[in-house]
Chains A and B, each alone.
Chain A
Amino acid sequence: MLSQSLYSYKSSLDRDGVIFTFCGPISHDIVEGVGVTLKSQLAESEVKQTTAMKVFAVFIEQVQNVINYSQERNDFDSDMGMGIIVIGESKGSHFIIGGNKIKASKVPVLKENLTELVAMNKEELKAFYKKKRKLNTSEDSKGAGIGFIEMARKASKPLEFSFEKIDDEYAFFSIEADI
C-alpha cells in the first residue's frame, strides 16, 4: 500500500531539501495560497528578502506556465493544468522546478528558444526581455511570452531543462531555475 511508503517518500524529499512540492491539477487559488505561504515562510527564515522575492517570482512564472501550457488538463475544470512544481533548498541555493506535459510537436521550437536563452548573459537577457516585451504576443501564448526570460534573469545560473518522450504525441517538459 502507498500509505506505508509515504514516510520513505517524504524522507527522500527531505533529503533532497524539498520545501514544497505539488503534483496534480494547478488552479489559480493554489497559486495564491501557496504564494502567500511561501512568502511568509521565506520571510521568517534567514533567507534574504531579495532572494525570497526571486524565489516567489520564479514560482509564479513556473506555476502559471503549468496552468497555461500544460497539455494535460483537469477533467472537471479545463482552467487547471496538470503538472508538478518542486521548490527546495540545497547547498545554500534555492531551486524551483516545474514540469508538465506538452505536445511533442512543440519540442523543437521550445528547445531552440531555451538553448538560445541559456547561452545569454545578464545584459543580453535584459535586452532580449525588453525586445520581446515590446512585441505583440504570439497567438498560442496566453501570457506575455517572456516568462522564461524573467526566470532566467532571476536565476543565479543558466536554466536547466529537459524533454522526456511520453509517446508520439506528447513529451514531458521540465525546467529548473536555481537562485
Chain B
Amino acid sequence: MTRLQIEKTKSSPEIDFNPETHIHSIKGESYPENTTQFYDPVLDWINSYLAEGYEGEIVFNIELIYFNSSSSKILLDIFDMLDETKNEKITVNWIHDEDDEAMEEYGEEFEEDVEHIKFNIVAK
C-alpha cells in the first residue's frame, strides 16, 4: 500500500493516510466543489487498506474545523466502513477545538452511530 497524501485547499482537508505507522489523518475544512470526486480516492484507499487486514492498532485522527452536509455523509460512510470490520483495534479520534461545542456535538452524533470501533472525542 502506498501512503495517501492530499494537500489541503481552502475547501478541502489535508489527507495523510500512512500504511507504515497506521496513523491516518483528515485535517482542515471540508466543503469541496464535488464531494464525491474529492472523497472517492479516499474511500477507495480505506477499502483496500482494510482489506489487507492489519492486525495492530489503527488510528484515524479527524480534526475538522468545518464540514458541509455532503461531507458529513461521507464521514459517516467512512466510520461505517471502519465499524463494519468489527475490529476493536481501530480507534477514531474526533478532535475539536475545546471552545467548539458544535464540533463536539457532531462528534457525539457520529459516536452514537458506531458500535465496534473505539470512538474518542478529544478537546484540544
B-contacting residues of A (Cβ < 8 Å)? 28, 31-32, 35-36, 49-50, 53-54, 56-57, 60-61, 64, 79, 126, 130, 133-134, 137, 142-144, 146-147, 149-150
Contact = CB atoms under 8 A, between A and B. Distances in A.
B109 A31 contact: no
B124 interface: no
29 contacts: A28-B11, A31-B31, A32-B11, A50-B101, A50-B102, A53-B100, A53-B102, A54-B102, A57-B68, A60-B31, A61-B68, A61-B69, A64-B70, A130-B109, A130-B113, A134-B113, A137-B73, A142-B70, A143-B35, A143-B68, A143-B69, A144-B35, A146-B69, A146-B73, A147-B69, A147-B70, A149-B69, A150-B69, A150-B72
Given A130-B109, A130-B113, A133-B76, A53 B66 contact: yes
Contacts of A60: 31, 66, 68
Contacts of B76: 133-134
Per CB-CB distance, the 10 closest pairs between chain A and chain B, nearest first, are A144-B73, A28-B33, A143-B70, A150-B69, A32-B10, A144-B70, A146-B69, A147-B69, A60-B31, A60-B68
Contact of A57 (B33, B66, B100): B66
Interface string B4-44: 00000111000000000000000000010101000000000
Contacts of B11: 28, 31-32, 35
Nearest to B29: A35
Given A60-B66, A61-B69, 19 more contacts: A28-B11, A28-B33, A31-B31, A32-B10, A32-B11, A54-B102, A57-B68, A60-B31, A60-B68, A133-B73, A137-B73, A143-B73, A144-B35, A146-B69, A146-B72, A147-B69, A147-B70, A149-B69, A150-B68
Please indicate which of the listed interface residues B66, B73, B99, B102 has the most CB atoms of chain A within 10 Å of its own CB. B73
Contacts of B101: 50
A178 B35 CA distance: 26
Nearest to B32: A28
A95 B73 CA distance: 26
B109 A64 contact: no
Please indicate which of the listed interface residues A50, A134, A144, A146 has the most CB atoms of chain B within 10 Å of its own CB. A144
B64 to A, nearest CB: 12
